[in-house]
Amino acid sequence: MSTKFRNLKNDLQDLENDSSESGIGISPKTGGGGSKTANYILVIAFVVTLLFYAGSRVTNFFTDIGNPISEAIESFNEYDPELLAGMGEMMEDMGYGVLSDAELSALRDEGVTATETKRFHDLGYTDLTLEEVVELRNAGVSASETQEFFDVGYNNLTVDQLIDLENANVSATYASMMKELGYSFTVDDLTTTRRNGVTANFTSRMMDLGYTFEELTKENLIRMRNLDVTDNLAAQLIAERGERPTVDELIRYKISNQ
């Protein structure tokens, strides 16, 4: 039995003795009720003290096991020394100098790998700073996706352009399809049209309905998509009128029937 528990028991015995000696409730007529009240007080005091004691023990228990758990988590989050050493060698070979384990770990925390960085270097991005490597990774730009843009004619893209394309949800597939439809979009054209909801599918279906490349300019595509003009609406009006409405007529119809 612990010292605290023995002290608790002794205190309760002293309290009971003091109660008896002071004559609490000891009357021929009221002795039974007074004794019960005193017992209730003793029991309540005992339970409260016991709960407090038990709570402190539980708290100490979880505090004691907390430190090993925290240490285990920290140990788990640490990178393998061999991995960092290999990464450091590759980064040094690419011209980033000798990076400390802390610097390498910080790069890994951002998702940067030496392998992916090497792929960008192989594409010609040999002057990438560490900050730019991190920015590309945070934006979700990959070397393989960059290669796809190269394959459809968008070469020498800057880091900012790569990030803009990714943020605007422009894929190399979209760029390729719009080129097949006759558009010579710049990077800004690609990002602007995609941010406004233009798709190659919508553009192609409008062409299938008879709308010409001259009618479906970048500006008109954006105007229609901003007002949610669809190829289904165009097909409906063609069927109803027996003729193809102009882009302006489609837009006016949509505005008038909001």
**pLDDT tens, residue by residue, 150-178:** 999 999 999 999 999 999 999 999 999 99
Same domain for 160 and 230? Answer: no
pLDDT, greater one: 140 or 32: 140
Q: Whole-model pTM?
A: 0.69
Would residue 83 count as lying in a domain?
no
Same domain for 151 and 68? Answer: no
Would residue 222 count as lying in a domain?
yes
Same domain for 162 and 197? Answer: no
pLDDT at 234: 98
Does the pLDDT at position 28 exceed 90? no
Same domain for 140 and 199? Answer: no
Mean pLDDT confidence for 180-191: 98
Q: How many Cα atoms within 13 Å fall on the side-chain side of residue 229?
A: 27
Mean pLDDT confidence for 128-132: 98
Would residue 94 count as lying in a domain?
no
pLDDT band at 78 (very low <50, low <70, confident <90, very high): confident
pLDDT band at 144 (very low <50, low <70, confident <90, very high): very high
pLDDT at 251: 98
pLDDT at 73: 41
Would residue 84 count as lying in a domain?
no
pLDDT, greater one: 229 or 63: 229
Would residue 92 count as lying in a domain?
no
pLDDT, greater one: 55 or 86: 86
pLDDT, greater one: 9 or 24: 9
Rounded to an integer, what distance in angstroms lies between the CA atom of residue 140 and that of residue 162? 10
Q: Which domain holds residue 151?
A: 99-167
Same domain for 108 and 62? Answer: no
Would residue 93 count as lying in a domain?
no
